[in-house]
Amino acid sequence: MSYLYFPGCSLKGTGRAYEESLLAVFRALGIPLAELADWNCCGATAYMSIDERQAFALAARNLALAEAQGASDNGAIQLIAPCSACYLVLLKAQRHLMTDTAFRQEMSGVLPGNMGDPGQIRIRHPLDVLVHDVGLQEIARHVRQPLRGLKVASYYGCQIVRPFALFDRPHDPSTMDDLVRTLGAEPVDWPLKTHCCGGSLTGTMPEVGLRLNYLLLREAQRRGADLIITVCPLCQFNLEAYQDFIRRRYPDLAPMPVLFFTQLIGMAMGLPPRELGLQRLLIPVEGRMAALSKEGAHARA
């Protein structure tokens, strides 16, 4: 199966480690990704509240490009969007194109391609692709360094399973937990897995945003997690980059590594750390992994 890849702005900037690890993992699994040529910013979710029509048009251009560039598999063009905001906005724009005939006709006159059937584009999250297309058994075959003894809190955030619950349950998703088990690690029972991290509130209303992040980090710590994995570049940034600020207000919080789920997969596959962007982490994970290796060696002795 062939996939088009829409990176979005974050994966070329603050979420660069996400792109690096995603491409490394897909390459190791033999899954070709073709980056969507001439893509533009999706507008993210905030633009919808400013000018909904222009926001839909901005996202619709990427769908038109996908229609023009994509190869159809069983009647569908597969478009991967790793960023949670991009994933959600593209799905919203697709639904709008499919239900508003006048808008679709207007867009057909100004966008590349003819936007004849927006429904032929299947917008996918890489978590969905890895678990349901590649499969957990195939991923297990590529595990070279099982992450035994590692306790992982899987954080989905609030955008990839709501309102479009296309591949997991909206309130109690389990896809990442299944993946964590496949990698040899232990998923922790963490009821805040879909609670909001505050999004841009960390920069606009820090008292609110930092508090929301603290609650997530504290609960992961209380549940015994060694690290958190996430699917969203903004969630990863919020949960990792603000920990120093959060600890000034809440000194009970210990440093908690926050990784992209693709970095964890790559670690279990034994891929080189720099290919996974692990050097970009503000809270390193190597020390914890070394400690687990020593614990395992003592247990085997």
> Domain 3-124 belongs to what architecture?
Up-down Bundle (1.20)
Which residue in the block uniquely carries the two structure tokens 């619950």?
165
- Cα separation, 60 vs 68, in Å, equals 12
Q: Is the pLDDT of residue 200 over 60?
A: yes
CB atoms within 10 A of CB 130: 24
Cβ contact 112:65 at 8 Å: yes
Q: Is 109 helix (H, G, I), strand (E, B) or coil?
A: coil
Q: Please compute the mean of the pLDDT values over residues 15-27 and round it to a whole number.
A: 98
User: Percentage of the chain surpassing pLDDT 70?
Assistant: 93
Tokens of 94: 């697709």
Is the pLDDT at 293 greater than 80? The verdict is no
pTM (2 decimals)? 0.93
Least-confidence region, from 58-72, 139-153, 257-271: 58-72
Q: What is the mean pLDDT of residues 87-105?
A: 91
Coil, helix or strand at residue 274: helix
Contact status, residue 90 vs residue 123, Cβ threshold 8 Å: yes
Concatenated DSSP letters of 225-270: -SEEEES-HHHHHHHHHTHHHHHHH-TTPPP--EEEHHHHHHHHHT
pLDDT in tens, 211-266: 999 999 999 999 999 999 999 999 999 999 999 999 999 999 999 999 999 999 99
* Bigger pLDDT: 68 vs 273: 273
| Domain extent listing, the chain | 3-124, 136-300
Confidence of residue 291 (pLDDT cuts 50, 70, 90): low
pLDDT in the model for residue 301: 41
Architecture (CATH level 2) of domain 136-300: 3-Layer(aba) Sandwich (3.40)
Least confident of 14-23, 158-167, 238-247: 158-167
What's the confidence (pLDDT) of residue 297?
Answer: 45
What is d(CA 172, CA 141) in angstroms, rounded to the nearest whole number?
27
Question: From start to end of 133-187, where are the E strands?
Answer: 151-155, 186-187
pLDDT of residue 115: 64
